[in-house]
Amino acid sequence: PGPDNYNRMEAPAQNQAANGHSHDDPGHLTDVNIHSQAEAQVGHNSKENAFEDEFEDGKMPKFKISYPFLLGCCLTAALGSLLLGYDLGIISGAIVPIKEEFDLSGGEVEILTSSITLASILGSFVAGTVADKFGRKKGLLSAAVIFLIGSIGMASSPNFEALISWRFFTGIGVGMGLVICPMYCAELAPRHIRGSMTSFNEMFINVGIPLAFLVNLLLAGLPNDWRWMLLSGALPALGLFVTTIFLPESPRWLLRSGDREKAAAIVENLVHKDEPADLKTKVVKQTIVDMNHDFEGEKITWGDLLFRSDRRTLLIGMTFAFIQQVIGTDAILFYSVYTYEQYGITENTALLLTLVMGLIKLFTTILTSVIVDFP
C-alpha cells in the first residue's frame, strides 16, 4: 500500500466513476482493505514502540507487594533446600546404628556421609539443563520424586553397597533442589527484596537440620531405628511434591518460552489486590520490559564472566562460598552425634545437643535474612 490508496479513498465520486471505480467495485474494496490492514499494522507497531519508550527508563513504580502470594511461592520452593538440611541432620543420628549393623570401618563411614554431597554436585549440573528446558516447577517436582524414591531405597537397603547407591541417587535430587530453589525465588521476587527471598534457600537448609535432629531424638532406640530415620525423609519430599503441584511457573521462564500472557498474569498476582488497576498494568509492563532487557544481556561467555570489570565482586562472593564449606561445617554436622558418643555422652544427650546446635544455626540464618536487604 502506498499514497495511491489514500488518493483513491479521498477522491470525489465523479473521479471514481471516471476511473471506472465505484463503491461496489471489488477492486476498490480490495484497495481499501489493504489500506486498512496497513493502517492497523502501523498502529500496532506504534503501540509497541510507545510501550518500549514509556518504560525504557527502567523505573519501576512503587507498589504494595502481595506478600501472601510471594511468600507462599518462595516458601514452597524453599522446601527443595530443606531436603539437604534434613539429610545432613538425619545421617548424623543414623551413623552409629548403621556402623554397628554393617560393621563399617572408618573409611566406609566417611563414604556413607560424603556420598550424597558428591552426588549433589552432579545434581546441580543437571538442574540447570532441566530447569531451562522443562521449567523451574517441573525441576522441583523432579527433585522431590528423586528424594522420595531415594529415601525409600535407603531405608530398605540390605547391605552397605545398596545403601551407598541409594544415597548417591538421592544426592542428585538434593543438588537439583539446591539450584532450582534460589533460582525460582530470585526470578519471582521484586528486585528490592530479592536478597531476603533468595535467603530462604539457606534458611530452609537450617530448618531441615534441627527438624531432622528432633526426628532422630524421637526415633532413637526403636527397632531398626536408622531405617525409620532415613525413611522419614520421604515426608518432606512428598510435601514438596504436593505443594509444588499448585506452584505457579517462574514468570521469567514463561516469558523466555514465549508465553507472555501467563508471565504477565503471575507478575500481576505479586501486586497487592488493593492497588489500582492502572498501577498494576504499569508494574506488569515494566517487569516484562526489565526481563526482556535482562535476556539481551545474558549472551555472555566464560571469558566475560571471569574477566569482566566487576570480577572482583564475583571472586569475593565465590571465596566466601568456598571458605564456608572448606572450614568443615558439614563435617561437624555429620559427625556430631558420633563424636559426642566417643567422649562417653549418651545417645539421647548427644541428639539433644545437636538439636540445640541446629537451632542456633537456624537463628543466625533468620537474622541474616532479615537484615540482608537493609540499606
Which 8-state DSSP code applies to residue 62?
A: P
Residues 63 and 275: their CA atoms lie apart, in Å, by 7
| Distance of alpha carbon 31 from alpha carbon 1, whole angstroms | 8
Q: What is the pLDDT of residue 47?
A: 40
Instruction: Tell me how crowded residue 239 is: count the other CB atoms within 10 A of its CB.
Output: 15
pLDDT value for 355: 85
The predicted-structure confidence for 123-182, as pLDDT tens digits, reads as follows: 999 998 999 999 999 999 999 999 999 999 999 999 999 999 999 999 999 999 989 999
69-88 in b/e burial notation, b at 16+ Cβ within 10 A? bbeebbbbbbbbbbbbbbbb
Q: Dihedral through CA 356, CA 361, CA 365, CA 371, nearest 10? A: 80
Q: Supply the pLDDT for residue 239.
A: 94
Q: What are phi and psi of 105, to 5 degrees?
A: -85, 175
**Confidence at 308, pLDDT banded by 50, 70, 90:** low
> What's the pLDDT tens digit per position in 240-285?
999 999 999 999 999 989 899 999 999 999 999 889 989 889 989 9
Environment class of residue 131 by beta-carbon count within 10 Å: exposed (0-12), middle (13-18) or buried (19+)?
A: buried
Instruction: Provide the whole-model pTM.
Output: 0.74
